[in-house]
Amino acid sequence: MNFIGLIPARYASTRFPGKPLAMLCGKPVIQRVYETVASCLGRAYVCTDDERILRAVEDFGGRAVMTSTAHRSGTDRCYEAFQKVGQGADVVVNIQGDEPFIHSSQLEAVCRCFDDEDCQIATLVKPFTPQDGLAALQNPNSPKVVVDNRMHALYFSRSVVPYLRGVEPEQWLSRHTFYKHIGLYAYRTSALRDITALPPGTLEQAESLEQLRWLENGFTIRVGLTDVETIGIDTPADLERAEDFLRRHPQP
């Protein structure tokens, strides 16, 4: 299988403008993402709609490609980038540009899903633990995933799913394995082409989760497991927490 890593990165962010270029312990956030992806997959590009990000990536020796400002999602941006630089790739891996702690083991796990020749789309989940606490499970900004016996996604939700009837919420984490969605995707190139042609679905609009559009249209999503916690950066406060984490756990 020939994999290519594509990293969507926008400059305009409501909560944190210029986030990909924010410095995190001496390196831009986007550089930390790119270096992990390139070292694991070999072939990687940042796909952006802003010349400042393009220049920054090229300045640290990375590869980047300009894409339209009109895309609705990172998936759409990845498809345009794939059309420009993805010749020969069988699978596109979509890594969010605000995940500087993405781990090579996570990239390897999502790629292994394609050992199954029927795999169309893959993503990752991490089991919640009792130590995470009920507040983490109930956080609507941390989508949950229900899977079948073959580790295919049945549903994604911002609500706690499944609901454990007759069990006090404080006991949920000790009575059932709930899965947290890790926002890393990989797609066979034919599936990527097809899903980007789909109109938004009712479930997607209800939950504001684009992967529900794919399920609603009959695509299967294979789910890989990880025990690595990632720290996404959505706000300046998240950046401060990430800097504190790096000071306590130095990386190259």
Amino acid at site 4: I
| pLDDT in the model for residue 250 | 75
Model confidence at 165: pLDDT above 90: yes
- The residues with which 3 forms a beta bridge, in sequence order, are 91
Average the pLDDT over 136-147 and give the result: 95
pLDDT band at 177 (very low <50, low <70, confident <90, very high): very high
109 closest CA partner among 239, 237, 203, 226: 226
Q: Are 230 and 106 in contact (CB under 8 A)?
A: yes
Whether cis (ω within 30° of 0) applies to the bond prior to 162 is yes
3-state helix, strand, coil in the chain (%, to 5): 40, 20, 40
Residue 81's pLDDT band (cuts 50, 70, 90) = very high
pTM across the whole model: 0.94
Say if CB 134 and CB 117 are below 8 A apart: no
H or E stretch including 15? none
In terms of CATH, what superfamily is 3-241?
Spore Coat Polysaccharide Biosynthesis Protein SpsA; Chain A (3.90.550.10)
d(CA 251, CA 247): 9
> How distant is the alpha carbon of residue 5 from its chain centre?
12
